[in-house]
Amino acid sequence: MDAAGLVVVAMVVAAVLLAGAVFLAAFLIGAQRETRGRIAQIAESAKADRAELRRALDERLDGVTHRLGEGLERSAARTAETLGDLKKHLDVLDEAQKNIAELSGHVVGLQDILANKQARGAFGELQLHDLVRSALPPSAYEFQATLSNNRRADCLIRLPNPPGPIVVDAKFPLESYRALRSAEDEAARAAAAQSFARDILKHVGDIADRYIVPGETAESALMFLPAEAVYAELHANFPGPLEKSFRRRVWIVSPTTLMATLNTVRAVLQDARMREQAGVVQREVQALLKDVVRLDDRVFKLHRHFDQAGEDMRQIRISTDKVIKRGENIENIRIGEMEAGDESPDARVQPLPPPERDTG
């Protein structure tokens, strides 16, 4: 092929390539426009979706905010109420703490009192005084009573014979009891138990020798322990001293058992007073019977006078009836004379019969 043919072929190829390029460019431009339209649609759809999403989010956020606000208000109210209750409890705790502090001071003072024997004795006597005063009338007891042996009793209860006046003496073996409670081993406990039993028996012996006076007091006496714990320890673990106190006729009592004993004493005193009053009532009844007999005799005499007066009244009525009948007879005689018309004076005036004797 010559050069011209080559040129023609080349030009045809070029034209074909140019036409393909133009077609390709037109296709690409259409595809680009379509792509832009789709992108615009996608953008509009995305914008609408974002608006809807924002609206939904705003609604949900408003609901969450409202619920959160209500929850916070309720929580604030409950918190305020809880804080108020907490303040009340704190005030109560503060007051209790003050009371505990005051009670601690009293406990310290009580420990100081119990540490001193004289103060401890005064404490027992004071408790004994309070119990006796609360249970018995003033005439039934005497504090610090002096007996014929010049011994002074803490309290003398005046009971009728038998059994007679009985002495109550307060004792408080605190040291040996504390040693017994604080013992750390068996040896220390045994030693403290011996000391405690020895103190109890010494007090029992002193009371039996000093406050049981034949012919003056009862045949027994009371030993008052002002602590229930000491009394419980004695009855729980020390039967020996208790039996010896029974033989010496010294009855050991605590505040509780002493109150029960005093109530029994009050019943005995009331019974004795009732017996005394019964004697007075019997004497008064006898005097009343005498007065009734005297009144019956006077009523009988008055009734007899009334009977006599009635008889006298009956006789008087009889006499008045007779007088009335005589008057009627006289009136009938005069009326008869007037009807007869008798002019003779002797005929008009008739002598009257002699009067009958009044038997009344």
Residues 150-181: tens digit of each pLDDT: 999 899 999 888 888 999 999 888 788 888 88
**C-beta atoms surrounding 153 within 10 Å:** 22
- pLDDT at site 347: 45
- pLDDT at site 340: 56
State the burial class of residue 169 (Cβ atoms within 10 Å of its Cβ: 0-12, 13-18, 19+): buried
The segments of the chain whose pLDDT lies below 70 read 1-3, 7, 101-123, 278, 334-360
- pLDDT at site 289: 81
Q: Which tens digits make up the pLDDT trace of 100-148?
A: 766 655 444 444 444 455 555 566 788 888 999 988 888 889 999 999 9
Fold for the domain defined by 118-277: Trna Endonuclease; Chain: A, domain 1 (3.40.1350)
- pLDDT at site 68: 81
- pLDDT at site 210: 92
Among 263, 192, 262, 281, which residue's Cα sits nearest to residue 230? 192
- pLDDT at site 113: 44
Pairwise CA distance, residues 67 & 62, whole Å:
9
Pairwise CA distance, residues 160 & 137, whole Å:
14
Tell me how far CA of residue 121 lies from CA of 128, 222, 234, in angstroms: 11, 16, 19
- pLDDT at site 330: 81
Reduced to 3 states, what is the DSSP secondary structure of residue 146? strand
